[in-house]
Chain A
Amino acid sequence: MKVLGLLLPVALLLGLGGLAAFFWALRNGQFDDPDGDAARILIDDDDDEE
């Protein structure tokens, strides 16, 4: 049962980490333009910087 004391916080922290990452993405505008982001990877812009 001692292992629970370790595993429980680890599991919770991992989950919370995922949640925090999602909130960060939400605040950071990662969900503002899903269609555009999907299309942008196709733009070949090696020859100029932005």
Chain B
Amino acid sequence: MTAVSLREEPTETTVLAVPGMHCAGCISRIERGLAGRPGIVSSRVNLSARQVTIEHFRSLKARDLVAELERIGFEAEPRKGALAASPSQARPLLAPLAVAGFAAMNVMLLSVSVWSGAEGSTRALFHWVSALIGVPAIAYAGMPFFRSAWGALRKRRTNMDVPISIGVVIATALSLYEVVTGGHDAWFDGALMLLTFLLAGRTLDAMMRDRARSGVDALLGHAAQGAMVVASDGSLAWKPAEALAPGTVIRVAAGERLAADGEILSGHSRFDQSLLTGESAPVAGSAGDEVLAGTLNLDAPVDVRVAATGADTKLAEIARLMEAAAQDRSKYVRLADRAARLYAPAVHTLAALTFAGWMVAGAGWHQSLVIAISVLIITCPCALGLAVPVAQVVASGALMRAGIMVKDGSAFERLARVDRALLDKTGTLTLGRPVPDPQVLDNLPREAASVALALASHSRHPLSRALAAALAARGHAATPIEDVAERPGEGVFARWSGREVALRRPEGAQGTAVRLSMDGGAVWQIPFADRLRPDCHAALAQLGELGVDLSIVSGDHARAVAEVARATGLLAQADARPQDKQDLIARLQAAGRHVLMVGDGLNDGPALAKADASIAPGSASEVGLQAADLVFVQDSLLALPRAVRAARATMRVVRQNFALAIGYNVLAVPLAIAGYVNPMIAALAMSLSSLVVVGNSLRLTRAAR
């Protein structure tokens, strides 16, 4: 029966991002929870990408699937571009790496026989087999380098891939010539081993970026992607944000974000504008007031007439500021590329001089060429190619275990030089969300606490969720309640063992609070406030010890900022617009400082993009997550000094790696120029220097402590 109906309805596939899943239990809860639901054919969780792929009937919309996952207990967001899982950068390198590794091992075996004294026809046979394996393998596995080198040469630039490509191609060509003419030495093993080591470095580098990106991708998706449109006849229909036009009336439910700028037509509510302005206190709005896209409606549903959509909103304006700043930063040249700029010409000159020198000395063109190539091979930046990526991969792995995701390898280089930090207030120094007063919760009787938890868990209101989370964290369990009703703008009401209980908004209270009332019993007022992150003082002190000068820059009003400035003992600038923050950073940079920006909001986006390095908390806005180099997912602010320390340790190791790699060259190059290097010595020296560099980098596994 079901099988028939399955075939009848056309199905489609939707990919949802589910940031909240992290273990086997989550996988089975989601897959079992979705199995057998009407309209859903199959579902598959991808834990690495934090995504669920669902095959479902066409009649089921993405919104229904989000609701379905919400029922199971996970927040989800449809992925734009349907199936577009972000493409991996490491995947395309795996096949070349496997080919190079396979070929290098086999050719090396044959070469060992040649080195240990194979003669005559045996040597010729071994060389031929090596060539048969080596030439196609080099052509295939070398493609990533050849392509990149060609791209650089066409733009009349040079990069690390140019000397690699030239070295590999010439070595292969000469080896082929040697094999055909029955010569003594072939260099296939050296060329292949070089490719293997370099591809390993590249793959590690790409894997690091993939891992961090999928982590950050999963956190994204806080902005509203659409709105409930009220038609003139009063009917409601969901429309995506792109389809909204000025003049449309949208209904925004409590707890929902606005998808467009507009003016309130009817209803009265309070709005959390912290995403745009950094202002922590909710702003009241009623008919006639202006509201902005990206703000969160807190209390009651309102109807809004859309005034500006898409690129015309305040939100988009900030995005444009950011884009301009990000372009500035892309001019930063990575350390490895700077090294390559000096290294490549030096190596080529050296090889050319060697060739010329031996020709002058009367060695004949064949011998001169062989020696010049041995110089090229021995100087090929094998250890240099590993020096930076291995250190960064090990360090970013250590940081990831500590809850800090590094989005870009060059972030280490920029973060290590930081000597000035600007901190946003809301959501950065503070948690950015209302937290119930811990003292009041401590004094709450166990019974009342479990009733409050039960009531709060029935509401999606931000205060209820915060209360539920705080009570659950204290080890309270919800008690069964009956007849639960949530009245928008008032609170949650229910019956508990015959008594009326309620979690409601207090009348005329100062600040944010909820009131827990139990019929015939006591009434508790639970105040809410945005609190400093845990370990805030320790973290700021440690940053000071690291030689980083700190100050606060916030879009919030002076009074709120002054309070936090007093609590932390830092200088502060209040009422800063996104543009002001960006200008401040530009001034500091002009004064020769290296600025670290720590912020979360949309209003910090331009500053995050402008600063030398930037860190955002995992709770940050989509814009903040995208603009920041590093994202820390835990509440504790200790992530900041930890990241700076790890970055400095990484750069120390990278510099040591460079010294080791160059030191090896200083020893090996004179031997090569003098003509003493044969393929065996080249192979030994190359693997030895690479192993030393990898071993040195592995010391960073403890960098995040």
Chain A residues within CB distance 8 Å of chain B: 1, 4, 8, 11-12, 15-16, 18-19, 22-23, 26, 31-36, 39-43, 45, 48
Given A8-B129, A40-B24, A40-B27, A32-B102 contact (CB < 8 Å): no
Of the residues B46, B95, B105, B122, contact of A32 by C-beta under 8 Å = B46
Q: Are A11 and B106 in contact (CB under 8 A)?
A: yes
Given A8-B129, A12-B106, A42-B24, A31-B49 contact (CB < 8 Å): no
Query: What are 12 inter-chain pairs, A to B, with CB distance below 8 A?
Result: A11-B106, A15-B102, A23-B95, A23-B98, A26-B95, A33-B47, A33-B48, A33-B49, A35-B47, A36-B27, A42-B24, A45-B28
User: Which residues of B have CB within 8 Å of A34?
Assistant: 48
Answer yes or no: B109 CB below 8 A from chain A CBs: yes
Compute how far the CA of A42 lies from the CA of B98 in the bound complex, rounded to whole angstroms. 30
Compute how far the CA of A19 lies from the CA of B45 in the bound complex, rounded to whole angstroms. 29
By beta carbon, the residue of chain B nearest A43 is B28
Compute how far the CA of A15 lies from the CA of B133 in the bound complex, rounded to whole angstroms. 11
Report B8-24 CB contacts with A as 1/0, cut-off 8 Å: 00000000000000011
Of the residues B23, B24, B122, contact of A1 by C-beta under 8 Å = B122
Q: Are A36 and B48 in contact (CB under 8 A)?
A: yes
Nearest chain A CB to B46 CB, angstrom units: 4
Q: Are A43 and B24 in contact (CB under 8 A)?
A: yes
User: Which residues of B have CB within 8 Å of A8?
Assistant: 129
Answer yes or no: B526 CB below 8 A from chain A CBs: no
Q: Which of B217-259 contact A (CB under 8 A)?
A: none
User: Which residues of A have CB within 8 Å of B102?
Assistant: 15-16, 18-19
Answer yes or no: B329 CB below 8 A from chain A CBs: no
Q: Are A39 and B106 in contact (CB under 8 A)?
A: no
Q: Are B129 and A31 in contact (CB under 8 A)?
A: no
Compute how far the CA of A8 lies from the CA of B106 in the bound complex, rounded to whole angstroms. 10
Compute how far the CA of A46 lies from the CA of B666 in the bound complex, rounded to whole angstroms. 63
By beta carbon, the residue of chain B nearest A14 is B106
Given A18-B102, A22-B98, A11-B45 contact (CB < 8 Å): no
Q: Which of B127-181 contact A (CB under 8 A)?
A: 129, 133
Compute how far the CA of A32 lies from the CA of B90 in the bound complex, rounded to whole angstroms. 11
Using C-beta atoms within 8 Å of the partner chain, give the interface range for chain B.
20 to 34
10 tightest A-B contacts by CB?
A36-B47, A39-B24, A42-B24, A35-B48, A35-B47, A33-B46, A43-B28, A33-B48, A19-B102, A22-B98
Answer yes or no: B91 CB below 8 A from chain A CBs: yes
Answer yes or no: B99 CB below 8 A from chain A CBs: yes
Compute how far the CA of A8 lies from the CA of B129 in the bound complex, rounded to whole angstroms. 9
User: Which residues of A have CB within 8 Å of B23?
Assistant: 39
Q: Are B24 and A12 in contact (CB under 8 A)?
A: no
By beta carbon, the residue of chain A nearest B26 is A39
Report B32-73 CB contacts with A as 1/0, cut-off 8 Å: 100000000000011111000000000000000000000000
User: Which residues of A have CB within 8 Å of B105?
Assistant: 15
Compute how far the CA of A26 lies from the CA of B91 in the bound complex, rounded to whole angstroms. 9
User: Which residues of B have CB within 8 Å of A11?
Assistant: 106, 109
Answer yes or no: B94 CB below 8 A from chain A CBs: yes
Compute how far the CA of A1 lies from the CA of B102 in the bound complex, rounded to whole angstroms. 24
Compute how far the CA of A48 lies from the CA of B247 in the bound complex, rounded to whole angstroms. 53
Of the residues A22, A36, A41, contact of B46 by C-beta under 8 Å = A36
Nearest chain B CB to A8 CB, angstrom units: 7
Identify 12 new A-B residue pairs, CB closer than 8 A, beyond the known A12-B106, A12-B133, A48-B32: A4-B122, A8-B129, A15-B105, A18-B102, A19-B98, A26-B95, A31-B91, A32-B46, A34-B48, A39-B24, A39-B47, A40-B24
By beta carbon, the residue of chain B nearest A23 is B95
Compute how far the CA of A11 lies from the CA of B110 in the bound complex, rounded to whole angstroms. 11
Compute how far the CA of A39 lies from the CA of B24 in the bound complex, rounded to whole angstroms. 5
Nearest chain B CB to A46 CB, angstrom units: 12
User: Which residues of A have CB within 8 Å of B46?
Assistant: 32-33, 36
Nearest chain A CB to B408 CB, angstrom units: 21
Q: Are B94 and A26 in contact (CB under 8 A)?
A: yes
Nearest chain A CB to B128 CB, angstrom units: 11
Nearest chain B CB to A36 CB, angstrom units: 3
Nearest chain B CB to A5 CB, angstrom units: 9
By beta carbon, the residue of chain B nearest A9 is B129
Compute how far the CA of A40 lies from the CA of B46 in the bound complex, rounded to whole angstroms. 10
User: Which residues of B have CB within 8 Å of A31?
Assistant: 91, 94
User: Which residues of B have CB within 8 Å of A12?
Assistant: 106, 129, 133
User: Which residues of A have CB within 8 Å of B125?
Assistant: 4
By beta carbon, the residue of chain A nearest B94 is A26
Nearest chain A CB to B89 CB, angstrom units: 13
Compute how far the CA of A30 lies from the CA of B49 in the bound complex, rounded to whole angstroms. 14
Report B90-134 CB contacts with A as 1/0, cut-off 8 Å: 010011001100100110010000000000001001000100010
Nearest chain A CB to B197 CB, angstrom units: 18
User: Which residues of B have CB within 8 Å of A32?
Assistant: 46, 48
Compute how far the CA of A15 lies from the CA of B132 in the bound complex, rounded to whole angstroms. 14
Nearest chain B CB to A24 CB, angstrom units: 11
By beta carbon, the residue of chain B nearest A12 is B106
Compute how far the CA of A42 lies from the CA of B23 in the bound complex, rounded to whole angstroms. 9
Compute how far the CA of A33 lies from the CA of B125 in the bound complex, rounded to whole angstroms. 44
Compute how far the CA of A15 lies from the CA of B129 in the bound complex, rounded to whole angstroms. 14
